[in-house]
Structure 1
Amino acid sequence: MKIERIGIPLKDWDIKINYGIKTGFNDAFIIDGAKRRELIDQDPKSEEIIRPILRGRDIKKYGYNFADLWLINSHNGIKEKGISPIIIEDYPAVKKHLEQYYTQLEKRTDKGCTPYNLRNCAYMEDFFIPKIIYPNMTKFLPFVYDNMSFLTNQKCFIITGNNIEYLTAFLNSSLFKYCYRDNFPELQGGTRELSKIFFDKVSVLKISKTINNQFKELILKINKLKQDDCSTKDLELNIDNLIFSLYGLTNNEKREIGFIEIH
């Protein structure tokens, strides 16, 4: 296929694809906004380890629906980088909240150095740099560029590395859906499984930093419009046309692909 021939498999890109955070017991570690405010009121230091979280169902094409859910990020540190685990005694309000679930936390097979800590996550820092977030199972193949340091649950993957703004655009493009939708196994109800093993085989044209910055400008505009609940179709069409041009598609090929929206 022409698209595959001129691209490079994502497994050979300078990127990493990783799961979201697995808590082992979401009822304890994922809280709503009201509980977050309560814990911060009790001890302002609590805010240091309470971070906004997105779930797979929250991810939309170029956007997200934030459900006012927050993760208690009592991480287990990264020994190789000299990052120490969170000491829960430093956060008494959070500790008191978690203590009501102690029996369940202690039974987890994926806990950290104490029942209050999350399991080891060697790529924890990657959540705090620009990244792509997408759901592990979806009908719609949505991808969002995140520069707001959201954490995600295990129903998402994150992509970090070079030229991810362009990659966000490509993965949301009509060209990607036309060429690669059927690369991902179809499950019950038309849902697709977007596991890393299938992404590794997706071939994408490599571009320069200058071109990536052009896409970054467009992506940030779309992000802003999405936050303001405004239409982004014109910008999405612009991105499709830019990608068509990069791939050197003929007018007939462009017409055959068209503008693909999956609802």
Structure 2
Amino acid sequence: GIFDSATVDTNILISEKAQNAHQLRAVTLSADGLENMSDYVRQNVIDIDYKLDETWAILSQIEQSIKQKIEAVGTPLKEWNIKINRGILTGLNEAFIITKEKRDELVEKDPKSDEIIRPILRGRDISKNSYEWAGLYIIATFPSRHYDIDDFPAVRDYLLTFDKRKLEQSGQKDIDGIKGNNARKKTNNRWFEVQDSIAYWDDFLKRKIVFSRISGTEPKFSLDTENHFTNDTGYIISGEHLDYLLDMLVSDIIWFAFKTYYMGGGIDKEFKVNNLLNLPVPLPSTDAIKLTDEEMKFIAENIE
């Protein structure tokens, strides 16, 4: 945002042909440094060491120290005995996500409908250490379950109230010549099934951590023991040491570390879940992260 007339972020890279020293000198330029930029750079430049297979960020000395101490005792989540899975992508939420009133109506018509209708949390429903269920359900016709929709006539007839051509996973565009009147993304799945296979469907029925990938200013992780499913803005973590892991994920130290060092790019306040797998968190059997009072104060002042 240095140039008022520019519509994209500006990055100028100057390089020379030389042996790679795996070091950078960098500065984060703020608005108050624009007037005397050369002086600002001289006073605020920092040296960064990095490895070729790691992301790098412009960090102050205290931020580098915090990062090193966390990584010294932390184990990346991808090495934990856990699984992180995305919620359910339906391809047409208005058909597959229903209210409690509609769920009750379908079950009254055919009690068997209850077998494939499950309560669902959206990412927006999940907060730090809590969630607020909005009374919504998903028609959980997962391709991996190989359902016959004729076994659920009330659900079948309800889905058919939507244009079946839009439910078809054919990828057809502009049905009836109407721009934007599209079928769902092309897959090998059937018209009444959700878009993804969801082979891990039984993990939703386990004790698990649910979280929103659109984090805002707080770590939106919560424990779910009520068998909620999630949509594609909500993710789940299943596996070992969930209570301990939840405490870590919502702690100031780990949340600061994730936001500062590992979160990665995305839309505003959204993080990439693959980057979460790289987050180093101490295992229950390892030493705790030991930071100085100055470092803890710095985290407290920069946590948001």
Fold conserved (TM > 0.5)? yes
Structure 2, unpaired ranges of 5+: 1-67, 169-182
Pairing 1:13–2:80 present: yes
State the Cα distance separating 1:52 from its structure 2 match. Answer: 0.5
Change (3 A) 1:98 1:136: same
Residue 99 of structure 2 corresponds to 32
- Larger relative CO (CA 8 A, sep 6+): 1 or 2? 1
Q: 1:104 aligns with which of 139, 158, 166?
A: 166
What stretches of structure 1 move > 6 A for 4+ residues in a row? none
TM-score (norm 1): 0.75
Cα distance in 2 for partners of 1:201, 1:27 equals 35
Structure 1, unpaired ranges of 5+: 78-83, 212-244
User: SS where residue 141 of structure 1 aligns?
Assistant: coil
8 Å contact from structure 2 (residues 265, 271) kept in 1:
no
User: SS where residue 178 of structure 1 aligns?
Assistant: helix
1:205 is matched by which residue type in structure 2? Answer: P
Residue 211 of structure 2 corresponds to 134
Residue 184 of structure 1 corresponds to 263
Q: How many percent identity over aligned positions? A: 36
Residue 155 of structure 1 corresponds to 233
Q: 1:120 aligns with which of 197, 203, 208?
A: 197
Cα distance in 1 for partners of 2:101, 2:248 equals 38
Equivalenced residue count is: 219
User: SS where residue 138 of structure 2 aligns?
Assistant: strand
Cα distance in 1 for partners of 2:157, 2:83 equals 36
Cα distance in 2 for partners of 1:125, 1:100 equals 29
1:46-125 maps to which residues of 2 (within 5 A)? 46-77=113-144, 84-101=145-162, 102-106=164-168, 107-109=183-185, 113-118=189-194, 119-125=196-202
8 Å contact from structure 2 (residues 69, 290) kept in 1:
no
TM-score (norm 2): 0.66
The range that moved more, 138-147 or 174-183, is 174-183
State the Cα distance separating 1:89 from its structure 2 match. Answer: 0.9
Q: Which digits, 9 at most, give the CA deviation of each residue in 1:73-102, with x for residues without a partner? A: 11222xxxxxx4121111111111001122
Change (3 A) 1:260 1:88: farther
More helix by share: 1
Change (3 A) 1:259 1:145: farther
The range that moved more, 49-58 or 9-18, is 9-18
